[in-house]
Structures are given as C-alpha cells and as structure tokens.
Structure 1
Amino acid sequence: MKTQINTLRVHSIESFGTHDGPGIRWVVFLQGCKLKCLYCHNPDTIETSGGTVYDIEELVQMALKMKPYFGARGGVTVSGGEPLLQAKELIPFFKRLKEEGIHTNIDTNGRILNSFSKELLDNYTDLVMLDIKHMTEEGYLALTGVKCKETTFNFAEYREASGKNMWLRYVLIPGITSKPQLLHAMGAYFKDYDTIEKIEIQPYHKLGVHKWEALGWAYQLKDARENTPEELIEASNILKKYFKKVKVN
C-alpha cells in the first residue's frame, strides 16, 4: 500500500455513525484488507490500491467541523477494510485528533501488531473494537481465507495488558458462528479480561451481496439465512454469563 506519512488511503466517510463506538461518531473507512471474509458487506474495501488519498490535516479539519455533534461521548472511529494496514499513517492523524480533544476508536481484526500499531494503540487510541471472527483455526480459515486466528488473540492480550478499553464484536451466522459451543468458548477465553467493556453481536445480513456481484466475485453464503429473534436472544443469554454487557446491533 503506497501512502505517504501525511496521507491516508480512504474508502469512504460516514458523518453520523451510531453503531461504531460510543456516542455520535465520524467514521473513516480506510481502504485495504488482507482478509476476505465470506460475509463482508464492504468487499470493495479489500483491494489495497483503491480508495482516495486524503491529506491527514484535511481529515482533521473535517473531524473538527463535526466536533459540536460528538457531545461528551462521541468522536472519530477508523474502520475499514483493515485500518491497521495504515498504522504508520494513523499515528499523526490520531495524534492531531488527541491534540484537539477528540475521542479516538479503531475497529480492527487484530492481525497487525507491529511497532507502528503498538505506538498507535499505546499513545493515541482511546478504544479498540476487536472483531472476533471464529474460535477455531478451521473456522477462521473457512471464513476469512487466511490462517492463524492466534494473531487476533495476541492482539487482545496486548490490549488487555495495556489496561485500555476494548469492545469485542462477533458476527452471528446461523449454523456457522452461532453454535453454542463457540459462544461458550469465546466467553470462557475472555471472561477474565478487565478491559472488555462489552461485546456486540452483529446479526448476519446480506446487504453487501450486490457489491460482490459488481466485483465479479461469487458470494459463498447465499444459502445462509438471517438470524431469528430467538437465536439472537439465545446467543445474548449465553454471552451474558461471561461479559459485563452484551448488545445486539
């Protein structure tokens, strides 16, 4: 990914995000991801060479115009794609946001833990929303197309050790990630984490199927159905045994 230190490669921007962290969020979706999750609803963010290059100070000024709407809880969320592919470039962006008193949040799959992402996390990131894809190696590979789910858990351990806030996110796909044994396994793994404020269940949907078709890619979960209300309640009840707060988005 070719970006300069003072620029970011951006897919899109959302002005009034309400499901991307606390309060009202100004959400910057960065371009590029090394995963190809079967349920991805923004597959057009995967290609690293796409998107629009923005100057960091331009983005800061755009965020400042939104600051009056943030209230006491809102701020800026950087999502993707996978934002930590541009961790080096995010450091000066988040540093400027913190100078302006703006809350910062990263929505990540947690696969990138290098010197740049550590500096970003340690010094400039108020909140991390960590996407848990699957609790088994086989399931992780089947869903994302890559191996080594352990990288996500290494990332979680690093964040926990920092004592800084973290949310978990989990896409609930009937028959695939919704199995009770997987939910219990996730709860058992994270139950002693002090930094996890809550876990968000992301109901499965097919809103991005047309994007896959536009890219000429086969959508492999066409036979998967959406969650029933009962399934969402069941999953929520299981996770409430392990986490302080469970939210269905």
Structure 2
Amino acid sequence: MDARVHHPHPVAGVHHDADHGFLHSVETGGAIDGPGVRFVFFMAGCLFRCLYCHNPDTWKLHNGRRVDADDMLEELARYAGFLKLAGGVTFSGGEPLMQAAFVGQVTTRIKEELGLHIALDTQGFLHESLDDDWFNPVDLVMLDIKHIDPLRYEKLTAQPLQPTLDFAHRLKAMQQPAWIRYVLVPGLTDGADDVARMADFVAGLGPNIERVEVLPFHQMGASKWAELNKPYALADTPTPDDAATEAARDVFRARGLVAS
C-alpha cells in the first residue's frame, strides 16, 4: 500500500494495489496533453460517463493490460532524453486517480530516476483519498471541469460536481500549478452565462492557475462508441467554429486569465 493514499469512504471500482496497475495505451508524441511534447500514459478505469468522452474504451479498469512500475519506466526511459528537453510525461485516461496508489508509486520513481516533468490530467473526483504529499512529484495538474452548474454537470458526467470544485480549491491551498480544461460543447456548455460563471470561478482560484484551455468539442470519439455498441448522444452536435471558441476564451481573458 501507498501510505499517502487512504480510503475512509471506499468507492466501488477503485484500484488499491500499489504494485500493479492497468494501462490502456500510450502515446509517444502527445501535443495537447500538457506543455511541450508529452509521453502520455492512458490509465484504464473511470467512474465518469461523460456524454462527449472520446475514450469510452478506457472506462473499464480491466480493459487495460496489467503492468508494474518497472514496465512503465522501461517504456518511458527510451524517450527520456528527448522528453527532458522537449516536454515530459502525462498521466491521463480514463481517470488516473482510479489507480492512485499505483500511479503515485510510478510518478515518484519517474521523478527520482528520470527527472521528467510530470503532468496529471484528472477530474479530481477522488482527491479526498490522497495526502498532500502524493502530489510532490507532480509538476502540473490539468483539472477538467465539465460544467459549472451542478445539475447540468451531473447530467453530462453522471457524477456530482462538488468534489471537483473542492479539488480546485485544494490545489489553490497547496499552491499546486494547474491548468483548467473546459470543453466547449454547443448546446451544453457554450451558454454565455455558463462560460461567465466558469470564468468567475476560475478567476477566484488564484495565481496557481497558469492557464485555461478552452477545447472545442469534436466527434473523434464517435467511432469508439459505435465499436462498443453504445448510443452516442452527441452524434448530431457540431464542432464549435473558431470564432465561438475564441469568444469563450476572451471571457476568461477579460478576468485576467491566460486562455488558449
């Protein structure tokens, strides 16, 4: 067990083994998963059921291959020299905090043995099980906030909003460098009031928020839903045009935030 991870209120489906985890896939040259060029570990398992998820094949924990920390460092080490200069490694998914005990062991070893920049792409839903020092090897948290309205957030994700907002405040208290990620979905998250409320919330978090990424919705995950024989609710939803995306970014910029 990782002493930095505890479960006072156990959540069904969470993986507690610190020695082994489940890895869905990797990307060796990610360009949208943190600063610079990223080696991305897509961890298996997620409790969210986001309507626009582009990796629904990562939802089930055991859809990934069973690995240990040595396996992951071996995959990463061959790129370490380049990544140290050009970017780093990102843990995404799925939801990496579904396997926090294992991911924590791996991030510690990456920092100690390879010295790489480490980013965590998360919804923060399971943060209460983690001690603050679990985040010591993590250089950047990329926090996905799907919506600012609790009811619409739950409709969009099938999970409550408050744990994610609590995590955002916790990052502020820890002075943990963070990016906020917000997907602009026509008809769901692009309302003027929704964007303004989100911008107000983020602006109140403080200087640890280095950037807001407003990401236009896309249909790239639709084929995966079809392969899984799952109905895709957003099949008729268009990608927002550049003007709409830039207008949303301007709402954040008007509050003194860096937005891209």
Give the TM-score category using the shorter length: over 0.9
Deviations 1:134-166 (A, max 9, x none): 0111110111122x2011010011111111200
Residue of structure 2 aligned with 1:206, choices 219, 227, 246: 219
Q: Distance in 2 between matches of 1:135 and 1:231?
A: 19
Q: Distance in 1 between matches of 2:138 and 2:72?
A: 17
Query: Partner of 2:177 in structure 1?
Result: 165
SS of the aligned residue for 1:13 comes to strand
Runs of 5+ consecutive residues of structure 2 not aligned to the other structure: 1-13
Q: Is the 8 A contact 1:17 1:24 kept in 2?
A: yes
Give how far 1:5 is off: 1.8
Query: Partner of 1:155 in structure 2?
Result: 167
Deviations 1:9-48 (A, max 9, x none): 0110000111111111110000000000000011000112
For 1:110-189, list aligned pairs within 5 A.
110-116=124-130, 118-121=132-135, 123-146=136-159, 148-189=160-201
How high is the sequence identity, in percent, across the aligned residues?
A: 34
Q: Is the 8 A contact 1:10 1:54 kept in 2?
A: yes
State whether structure 2 residue 143 is matched by structure 1 residue 101.
Answer: no
Change in CA separation of 1:2 and 1:164 when aligned onto 2, cut-off 3 Å: closer
The TM-score normalised by the length of structure 2 is 0.90
Q: Distance in 2 between matches of 1:188 and 1:3?
A: 36
Q: Distance in 2 between matches of 1:46 and 1:22?
A: 26
Q: Distance in 1 between matches of 2:256 and 2:188?
A: 22
Query: Partner of 1:63 in structure 2?
Result: 76
Query: Partner of 1:227 in structure 2?
Result: 240
Give how far 1:243 is off: 4.4
SS of the aligned residue for 2:79 comes to helix
Query: Partner of 2:257 in structure 1?
Result: 244
Give how far 1:2 is off: 5.1
Amino acid across the alignment from 1:86: Q
Give how far 1:244 is off: 2.8
Change in CA separation of 1:31 and 1:7 when aligned onto 2, cut-off 3 Å: same
Q: Is the 8 A contact 1:30 1:78 kept in 2?
A: yes
Q: Distance in 1 between matches of 2:86 and 2:128?
A: 29
Q: Distance in 2 between matches of 1:233 and 1:202?
A: 10
Q: Once structures 1 and 2 are overlaid, which stretch shifts more, 198-207 or 63-72?
A: 63-72
Deviations 1:81-111 (A, max 9, x none): 0000111111110111110211111000110
State whether structure 2 residue 54 is matched by structure 1 residue 54.
Answer: no
Give how far 1:50 is off: 1.4
Deviations 1:21-79 (A, max 9, x none): 11111100000000000000110001122111112112112212111222445111000
Aligned length in residues: 245
Deviations 1:188-229 (A, max 9, x none): 112132100000111111111111111111001122111112
Over the aligned positions, Cα root-mean-square deviation in angstroms equals: 1.5
Q: Distance in 2 between matches of 1:229 and 1:185?
A: 21
Residue of structure 2 aligned with 1:12, choices 9, 18, 25: 25
SS of the aligned residue for 2:23 comes to strand
SS of the aligned residue for 2:33 comes to coil
Q: Is the 8 A contact 1:31 1:81 kept in 2?
A: yes
Give how far 1:117 is off: 6.0
Which 4+ stretches in 1 moved above 3 angstroms?
Answer: 1-4, 115-119
Q: Is the 8 A contact 2:24 2:44 kept in 1?
A: yes
Q: Is the 8 A contact 2:132 2:174 kept in 1?
A: no
The TM-score normalised by the length of structure 1 is 0.94
Amino acid across the alignment from 1:105: A
Give how far 1:127 is off: 0.5
